[in-house]
């Protein structure tokens, strides 16, 4: 089987709605993989429960290489430390690190806040009044918001949505006053002035937003967290299939077309390394777990 794989279309499950960063990066990768594997590689969106529904689908799929997961920090590192029923995540097989991107916290022009400090002052003056939108309960966006509130002594009302696009639209429409997300789905609205960037979570300022301070610069080192995306396979997927997919991913990530598409969306190209993806997952779980424990963060 491994010698002829793949013989039919391959499905990459995206556990969030269409149009978000996970979806956008997955579709760029799927297009490149289709050419390399000489089989259609299709993206299937299965949103819900902060990414847990789609992730579980892949974790229980046949280990034949035809159902894969485009995983993210939300699904692979946050859910395991917030929910006790996520042990199945440890059985997923890392295939390739695909993309990286920092998060950016934003508000809308309507709030009048032009800096993070100004918006936090509003929140302190009106606790449990301003809304914080996320891509779903237990997502990275949700946990970063919880860390922000815990470290700044503020109380926003958390409002979960089906994905980052719905959360973004809530901020644009005035239904929420704060959200965080990796840069790609917010960049156009930031450039047009509809969204006001308050802080990026990268170690250094992002070249796309040179005027926006980092989490460390505003005194919030716990929020220096970079988002990542990678290809995962179901448990017990044969090593030969994993190797075939990894080699295809490395070719895809080296292609000029993919790199151009990633650059346009401010994604950093991943290394394609199985080992680096596994290490990022392990470090993320350790770090999030420590922060959740220290800050006594819980989800309802």
Alpha helices in 42-186 (DSSP H): 52-59, 73, 79-82, 116-125, 140-152, 164-172
| 102-223 fold | D-Maltodextrin-Binding Protein; domain 2 (3.40.190)
The DSSP result for 17-76, as a single string, is -TTSHHHHHHHHHHHHHHHHHTS-EEEEE---GGGHHHHHHHHTS-SSSSEEEEEEHIII
Q: Does 10-101+226-295 carry CATH code 3.40.190.150?
A: yes
Domain boundaries, the chain: 10-101+226-295, 102-223
Q: How far apart are CA 95 and CA 204, in angstroms?
A: 28
pLDDT value of residue 300: 62
Which residues is 232 bridged to in the sheet? 69, 94
User: How much is the pTM?
Assistant: 0.85
105-134 burial, b for 16+ CB within 10 Å, e for fewer?
Answer: bbbbeebebeebeebbebbeeeeeebbbbb
Torsion of CA 141, 142, 146, 147, to 10 degrees: -30
Query: Helix 140-152 and helix 274-295: axis angle, to 10°?
Result: 40
**pLDDT value at position 87?**
77
Residue from 58, 114, 108, 77 nearest 232 by CA: 58
pLDDT of residue 1: 42
d(CA 258, CA 247): 15
- 221: tokens are 């080192």
> Nearest to residue 298, comparing CAs of 83, 11, 32?
83
pLDDT at 3: 55
- Burial of 267: CB neighbours in 10 Å, binned 0-12, 13-18, 19+: buried
Q: Are 80 and 89 in contact (CB under 8 A)?
A: yes
Percent of the chain with pLDDT over 90: 71
Distance of CA 280 to the CA centre of its chain: 13
pLDDT of residue 276: 96
pLDDT < 50: residue spans in the chain: 1-2
Do 10-101+226-295 and 102-223 agree at the fold level?
Answer: yes
**CA distances (Å), 290 to each of 50, 77, 78, 82, in order?**
20, 12, 11, 11
- Convert the pLDDT of each residue in 116-134 to its tens digit: 999 999 999 999 999 999 9
Give the model's pLDDT for residue 95: 98
């Amino acid at each position: 089987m491994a010698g002829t794989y793949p013989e039919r279309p391959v499905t990459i499950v995206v556990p969030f709605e269409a149009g978000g960063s996970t979806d956008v990066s997955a579709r760029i990768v799927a297009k490149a993989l289709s050419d390399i594997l000489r089989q259609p590689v299709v993206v299937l969106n299965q949103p819900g429960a902060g990414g847990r529904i789609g992730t579980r689908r892949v974790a229980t799929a046949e280990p034949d290489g035809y159902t894969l997961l485009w995983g993210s920090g939300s699904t692979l590192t946050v859910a395991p430390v917030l929910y006790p029923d996520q042990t199945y995540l440890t059985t997923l097989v890392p295939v390739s690190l695909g993309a990286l991107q920092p998060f950016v916290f934003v508000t809308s022009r309507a709030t009048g806040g032009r800096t993070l400090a100004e918006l936090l002052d509003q929140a302190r003056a009106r606790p449990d009044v301003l809304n914080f939108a996320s891509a779903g309960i237990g997502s990275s966006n949700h946990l970063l918001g919880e860390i922000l509130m815990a470290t700044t002594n503020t109380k926003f009302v958390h409002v979960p949505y089906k994905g980052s696009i719905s959360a973004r639209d809530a901020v644009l429409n005035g239904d929420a006053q704060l959200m965080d997300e990796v840069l790609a789905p917010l960049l156009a609205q930031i450039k047009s002035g509809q969204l006001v960037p308050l802080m990026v979570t990268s170690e250094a300022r992002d070249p796309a937003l040179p005027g926006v301070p980092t989490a460390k610069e505003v005194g919030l080192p716990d929020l220096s967290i970079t988002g990542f995306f990678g290809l995962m396979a179901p448990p017990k997927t044969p090593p030969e299939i994993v190797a075939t997919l990894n080699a295809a991913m490395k070719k895809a990530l080296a292609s000029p077309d993919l790199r151009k598409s990633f650059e346009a969306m401010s994604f950093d190209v991943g290394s394609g390394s199985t080992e680096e993806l596994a290490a990022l997952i392990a470090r993320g779980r350790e770090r999030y777990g420590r922060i959740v424990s220290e800050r006594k963060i819980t989800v309802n």
